[in-house]
Amino acid sequence: MLSKTIATINFKGGVGKTTMTWCLAELIANYHAVMVFDLDAQMSLTQAIAGNEGSFRANKFSKWLETSSQQEKTIYHALKKYVDNSGYSFSSDYIYKTQRGYDFVPAVEDLYWLDLEASGADRRTIPGFMRSLLGKIGGFKKYDYALFDCPPAFTWLSYSVLSCCDLILIPVNPDFYTVGGVYKIFNALIKWIEPFPKIGLFMNKVKTTIDRKTKALKMTSETQSYWDEVKEICEGIAEEQNLGIRCFETPICDRVSIK
């Protein structure tokens, strides 16, 4: 079994889930054995990682992805067989070894339709999928960390990940809708996720200004007020529900270089 599983989620799109998962993978892979999953049919992380392996259309990764899709050796096929109750396999053939040192399970477009296709399946079995899959992977390779880039929605695949991860990371942005959405995320997690993992929130795309007195960089007052609101929401929910929720004071600036 893997020792640490971290999922990055937010039902709001574009807050930086993929970017942060990717950065974490690049960073942690310097010290530990890392496995990264793209669970989003948009395939953003898959495209980003493909870009690192050379030009997207003609590189080794793209050929590998084409072959594994033809051979039905993708996360989509594994979950589909799992929910159809027809048994599934998962071997090293499903996992791409990146030049950057971490292993990668890409997303495929078919994930868009998975929830529709599997709508007749026994829903009670879904949360067990990722736990079962990680058990299978642990049978042939030991990883220290598994990172999951989740879609901006509550899909069956993300449901199965959230049901077995140690830490959920929630990037938030300094805007009205993202901050308002924090309640919705907690409502869904409290309703559906068992056991409840640790939760960490942090602010991404932070707008900064120079402090007149100290000349240091600080959050603009608007960004600060959104972050204060997030912390207040989290404190209230953590106390009310007795949950391990932490707001990390590590703002990530809105930077063209990150983009």
Ligand X SMILES: Nc1ncnc2c1ncn2[C@@H]1O[C@H](COP(=O)(O)OP(=O)(O)OP(=O)(O)O)[C@@H](O)[C@H]1O
As a 3-state breakdown, the chain gives helix, strand, coil percent values, each rounded to 5, of 40, 20, 40
Cα separation of 70 and 67, whole Å?
Answer: 5
CB of 225 to ligand X, least distance (A): 19
Q: Strand runs (DSSP E) across the chain, as ranges?
A: 4-8, 34-38, 96-97, 103-105, 145-149, 167-172, 198-206, 208-210, 217-219, 245-247, 252-253
Check if the beta carbon of residue 253 is closer than 8 Å to that of residue 174.
Answer: no
Among 5, 8, 18, 178, binds Mg ion (CB under 5 A): 18
**Interactions with ligand X, residue window 166-225 (CB under 6 A):** 204-205
Of 37-45, 98-106, 130-138, 156-164, the segment contacting ligand X by CB under 6 A is 37-45
Among 4, 33, 42, 196, binds ligand X (CB under 6 A): 42
Coil, strand or helix at 168: strand
By beta-carbon proximity to Mg ion, the closer residue of 170 and 237 is 170
Among 12, 17, 77, 80, binds Mg ion (CB under 5 A): 17
Cα separation of 52 and 54, whole Å?
Answer: 6
Of 41-49, 80-88, 135-143, 197-205, the segment contacting Mg ion by CB under 5 A is 41-49
Among 2, 6, 15, 203, binds ligand X (CB under 6 A): 15
Among 1, 3, 13, 89, binds ligand X (CB under 6 A): 13
Among 106, 152, 181, 197, binds ligand X (CB under 6 A): 152
User: Does the footprint of ligand X cover residue 18 (CB under 6 A)?
Assistant: yes
User: Does the footprint of Mg ion cover residue 12 (CB under 5 A)?
Assistant: no
**Interactions with Mg ion, residue window 227-246 (CB under 5 A):** none
User: Does the footprint of ligand X cover residue 40 (CB under 6 A)?
Assistant: yes
Binding site for ligand X (CB under 6 A): 13-19, 40, 42, 44, 152, 204-205, 252, 254-255, 258-259
Binding site for Mg ion (CB under 5 A): 17-18, 44
